[in-house]
C-alpha cells in the first residue's frame, strides 16, 4: 500500500511568504482576560529577527490553496550562560490556524526543526509559554509524537507600567538621556558585566547598534539612559519603541472584563486602573530594555526607572513594558508601579540526545530581554 501524500508541506519560509505570514499572525490571538494578536507589520521577517544572530522560520503550506497555515521560528542568540558568553537557541512564534490544529503538523514541524538543529550550533533552546495557554502547555510538555523535552526553568513577568494619568515630575540630575559615541562602549561594558550574572541574558556588542544589524533594530544610542556616579557609568536602561514593526492588537476581552471595562476606563483617567483600548486597537507601548545596575544597586535602578517614567509620561504611549523573572531583586520595585502583568513560563527545550552536562545550571536567576520575545 502507498501512503497518501499530506495536504501540508513543511519547509523553510521564503521571502515571498511575508504577506501570508503576517495574515496568519493577524488571525491568531492569545487567550486570556485581554485577547491580544501579536502582529509584525509591515514586515514579518524584520520583526522575527530582533535579538537574533540568525533566524530560520518554518512554515506549513496548504498544497491545495497555497496558504501558510502554521509557523514556528528557530533562532540563534548571543547570551550569557553560566557566566560565559555562548550561543543560545531560542524557539518562538508558534502559530497554527484553527482549521489545521487537529493534524500531524506539530510533530512534523518539530521534525523539520530538528533537521535544522543538526547544525550543532546549540545543544538546547529556551522558549516561553504564556500562563493561561493551557492547551499549548499541555501539548508541548507531553513529550509525545517525537516532541522534544520541555523542562520548566522559571517564570517571566512582563510588567505594564502606566504612562498616562500621572503628573510629570522634575527628575534628578544623576541620569542622562542618550549615550555619546565615546560613552557607548562604557555603557555596554556595564550592561554585559551585569548580564553575565544572570542566566540567558543577552551579550551585546557595539556592532549591534549598527544600521545593518537586526539585533537592535529601531534602537539607537540616543535611546539609552545612563546613571552616572562620578565619571563612571553605574547603570543603564533603554526605551525601545517597536510600534513601527511589532504591534499588540486587542482582539477582544473576556465577558467579565468587557462588563467592567467602562468602570476601568474611568478609573484609568486617575491612574487607578489599567487603560484598556477598544477592540481592534493596538496598545501603543514602549519597552524598557538593556537594564543594568552596578553591584545590583536597587537605588541606581530606581533612579533610572524614575527618569524614564518622568520623560515618557503623557507622551502618547499607554504602557512601558518591563520584563523580569521571579527572584530578580528589582521585581518588587517594578511591581509597585505596575497596573497589570503578563506572566509566562520559561522552558528549556532539548531532544533526548542532549547530554546532561550540556544543560544550563539552575543556580542563576534567568533574564530574557522581553523586547526581543
Burial of 39 (0-12, 13-18, 19+ CB in 10 A): buried
Bridge partners (DSSP) of residue 81 are 84
* Residues with pLDDT less than 70, the chain: 1-5, 165-172, 271
Task: Using alpha carbons only, give the angle 184, 187, 190 rounded to the nearest 5 degrees.
Answer: 155
Supply the pLDDT for residue 359: 97
Supply the pLDDT for residue 210: 84
- Helix, strand or coil for residue 342? strand
CB count within 10 Å of CB 221 equals: 17
Supply the pLDDT for residue 100: 85
Q: Which three cell numbers stand for residue 336?
A: 509597585
Supply the pLDDT for residue 335: 96
Long-range CB pairs of 109-115, under 8 A, 24+ apart, other chains included: 109/10, 109/58, 109/60, 109/70, 109/72, 110/146, 110/147, 110/148, 111/10, 111/146, 112/10, 112/11, 112/12, 112/58, 113/58, 113/72, 113/74, 114/148, 114/351
Task: Name the residue with cell 509591515.
Answer: 42
> Of 328, 264, 330, nearest to 299 (Cα)?
330
> Of 277, 286, 361, 272, nearest to 323 (Cα)?
286
Distances in Å between the Cα of 37 and the Cα atoms of 27, 210, 255, 372 are 8, 30, 18, 16
Supply the pLDDT for residue 71: 96
Supply the pLDDT for residue 193: 98
By the 8 A CB rule, do 61 and 109 touch? no
Contacts of 269 (CB under 8 A, 6+ apart): 165
pTM (2 d.p.): 0.92
pLDDT tens digits for range 39-77 = 999 999 999 999 999 999 999 999 999 899 999 999 999
Supply the pLDDT for residue 169: 62
Q: Please give the Cα distance from 47 to 373 (Å, whole number).
A: 10
Number of H helices, E strands in the chain: 8, 14
Supply the pLDDT for residue 170: 61
Supply the pLDDT for residue 158: 96
- Helix, strand or coil for residue 268? helix
Strand order through the sheet with 319-325? 8-12, 54-62, 68-81, 84-96, 125-130, 340-350, 149-162, 319-325, 285-293, 232-240, 224-229, 175-177
Bridge partners (DSSP) of residue 233 are 228
Supply the pLDDT for residue 4: 46
Amino acid at each position: 500500500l502507498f501512503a497518501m501524500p499530506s495536504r501540508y508541506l513543511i519547509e523553510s519560509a521564503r521571502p515571498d511568504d511575508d504577506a501570508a505570514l503576517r495574515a496568519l499572525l493577524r488571525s491568531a490571538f492569545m487567550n486570556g482576560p485581554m485577547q491580544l494578536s501579536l502582529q509584525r507589520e509591515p514586515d514579518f521577517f524584520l520583526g522575527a529577527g530582533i535579538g537574533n544572530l540568525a533566524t530560520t522560520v518554518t512554515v506549513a503550506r496548504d498544497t491545495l490553496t497555497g496558504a501558510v497555515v502554521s509557523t514556528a521560528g528557530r533562532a540563534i542568540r548571543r547570551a550569557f550562560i553560566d557566566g560565559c558568553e555562548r550561543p543560545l537557541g531560542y524557539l518562538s512564534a508558534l502559530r497554527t490556524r484553527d482549521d489545521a490544529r487537529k493534524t500531524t503538523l506539530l510533530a512534523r514541524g518539530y521534525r523539520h526543526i530538528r533537521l535544522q538543529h543538526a547544525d550543532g550550533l546549540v545543544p538546547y533552546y529556551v522558549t516561553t509559554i504564556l500562563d493561561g495557554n493551557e492547551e499549548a502547555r499541555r501539548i508541548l510538555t507531553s513529550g509525545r509524537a517525537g516532541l522534544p523535552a520541555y523542562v520548566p526553568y522559571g517564570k517571566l513577568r512582563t510588567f505594564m507600567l502606566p504612562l498616562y494619568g500621572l503628573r510629570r515630575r522634575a527628575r534628578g540630575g544623576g541620569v542622562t538621556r542618550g549615550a555619546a559615541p565615546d560613552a557607548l562602549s562604557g555603557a555596554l561594558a556595564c550592561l554585559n558585566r551585569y548580564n553575565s550574572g544572570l542566566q540567558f541574558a543577552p551579550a551585546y556588542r557595539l556592532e549591534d547598534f549598527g544600521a545593518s544589524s537586526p539585533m537592535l533594530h529601531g534602537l539607537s544610542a540616543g535611546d539609552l539612559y545612563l546613571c552616572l556616579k562620578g565619571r563612571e557609568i553605574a547603570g543603564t536602561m533603554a526605551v525601545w519603541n517597536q510600534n513601527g514593526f511589532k504591534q499588540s492588537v486587542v482582539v477582544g476581552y473576556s465577558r467579565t472584563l468587557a462588563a467592567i471595562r467602562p468602570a476601568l476606563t474611568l478609573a484609568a483617567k486617575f491612574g487607578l486602573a489599567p487603560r484598556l483600548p477598544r477592540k481592534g486597537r493596538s496598545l501603543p507601548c514602549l519597552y524598557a530594555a538593556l537594564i543594568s545596575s552596578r553591584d545590583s544597586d536597587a537605588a541606581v535602578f530606581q533612579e533610572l526607572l524614575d527618569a524614564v517614567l518622568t520623560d515618557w509620561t503623557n507622551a502618547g504611549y499607554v504602557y512601558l513594558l518591563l520584563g523580569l523573572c521571579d527572584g530578580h531583586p528589582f521585581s518588587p520595585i517594578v511591581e509597585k508601579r505596575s497596573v497589570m502583568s503578563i506572566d509566562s513560563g520559561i522552558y528549556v527545550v532539548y531532544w533526548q540526545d542532549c547530554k546532561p552536562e550540556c544543560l544550563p545550571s539552575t543556580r542563576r536567576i534567568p533574564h530574557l530581554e522581553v523586547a526581543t520575545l
